[in-house]
Structure 1
């Protein structure tokens, strides 16, 4: 079995995790910019972080035959200070020239504040200015529905936005139809403690179909599993999904979306 991990935060994982991914059949991994586990104190910290994503992680992944790509932004958890956020965003264009950068992400909302929304919209405009795809984070738990609606309303104001080049991640049962019905891609994140269990994700696939949907593990600082995607494939087989259906959701779908990124190639 081969698959693509379209959303994995490998800066929070060990080298052993890369080995596990390779043994599971991972051919490419895409790492969005995100929170470091603490709020960074300066824009220079993000400069070094962007170097890590664009220079070091591709080399670490390559040792196990995995292609590593990344997305760049200031994440929603640190975007509530507009002045600081704009300092970080001013750095991003320099890194967009790197050969493994896919686009802008994961941008979005954390606490659904006005400042977060403003910085989100400035990120969207940055992506449009550079003709780049977008990866969006939706809030967790009880704020997810409100945050998703705020995001969708905001995106609707961008008349030149190609919705097929936007993926809205961490969808659940109550937000997936909102995202898909408006022509965006949707990502389902497999977490042992929150977001989606494999069976919940498969239920959504069976309800909403397998077009414009992908699975990811996120595998970040919290309790998470970098092998969640191939483990979900096993559950799909148990539920009598064909090998072709499994390959479509694990490999062909993320490949289709990511191929819209000029730097993505397998």
Structure 2
């Protein structure tokens, strides 16, 4: 079995995790820019972080035969200070031509504030100006539906936006139809305790079909599992999904979406 981990925060994982991913059949990892577990005190912290994503993680992954790609942004949690956020955004263009940078992400909303939405829209404009794919974060828990609707309304205000190049991640049962019905891709994030369990993800897959869905582990600094995707594939097998169905959701779908960037190879 081979698969793609389309959303994994590997800067928070050990080299042992890379080895486990390789042994499980992981061909490529895509790492969106994210919150580090603490608020950075200056834009210089993001400069070093972007170097880590574009220079060092690809080398670390390559030692295990895995291709590593990244997305760049200032994450929603640190975007509520527009002045600070724009300082960080000024750094992004100098990294976008790096050979492993696919697009802009994970942008979105955290507490659904006006400031977050302002910076979200600035990121979308940057991606649209450069014809880049976009990866979007939706809030957690009770704010998810409100945040998802705010994101969809905001995206609808952009003219000539290619919805097929946008994936809205962390969907759950109460948001997935809103995303798919609007013509976007949807990402299901598999977490041990929150977001979406493998059983719930497979239920959604069986209800909505696999046309514009992918699964990811996120595997960040919190309670998460870098092997969530192959474990979910095993659960699909137990539920009598065919090998072709499993390959579609864990390999072919992410390859199709990510392949819209000419830099992606898998």
* TM-score, reference length from structure 1: 1.00
Distance 2:182 2:159 in 1: 14
How far the C-alpha of 1:100 sits from its partner, in A, is: 0.1
Structure 2, unmatched stretches of 5+, are: none
Q: How much does 1:195 deviate? A: 0.6
Aligned to 1:229: 229
Match in the other structure for 1:85? 85
Q: Secondary structure of the equivalent of 2:40? A: coil
1:31-180 pair list within 5 angstroms: 31-180=31-180
Deviation at 1:130, TM superposition (A): 1.0
How far, CA to CA, are the matches of 2:90 and 2:130 in structure 1?
13
Measured in 1, the distance between the counterparts of 2:163 and 2:262 equals 17
Q: CA deviation at 1:36?
A: 0.7
Structure 1: 4+ residue segments shifted above 4 A = none
**For residue 190 of structure 1, what is the aligned residue in structure 2?**
190
C-alpha offsets along residues 211-240 of structure 1, whole Å, 9 cap, x if unaligned? 100000000011000000000000000000
**In the alignment, which residue of structure 2 is the partner of 1:3?**
3
State the match for 1:21 in structure 2.
Answer: 21
Following superposition, the deviation at residue 205 of structure 1 comes to: 0.2
Give the match for residue 218 of structure 1: 218
Whole-Å separation in 1 of the counterparts to 2:36 and 2:210: 32
**How many pairs were matched up?**
266
CA distance in 2, matches of 1:4, 1:92: 25
Shift of 1:135: 0.2
| Cα offsets for 1:139-168 (capped at 9, x unmatched) | 000000000000000000001110000000
Deviations 1:7-63 (A, max 9, x none): 000000000000000000000000000001100011111000000000000000000
1:2 Cα offset (Å): 0.1
- Normalising by structure 2, we get a TM-score of 1.00
Instruction: Give me the whole-angstrom Cα distance separating, in 2, the residues matched to 1:131 and 1:262.
Output: 11
Q: After superposition, what is the alpha-carbon deviation per residue over 1:98-119, rounded to whole angstroms, capped at 9, x for unaligned?
A: 0000000000000000000000
Distance 1:262 1:158 in 2: 24
Structure 1 unmatched ranges of 5 or more: none
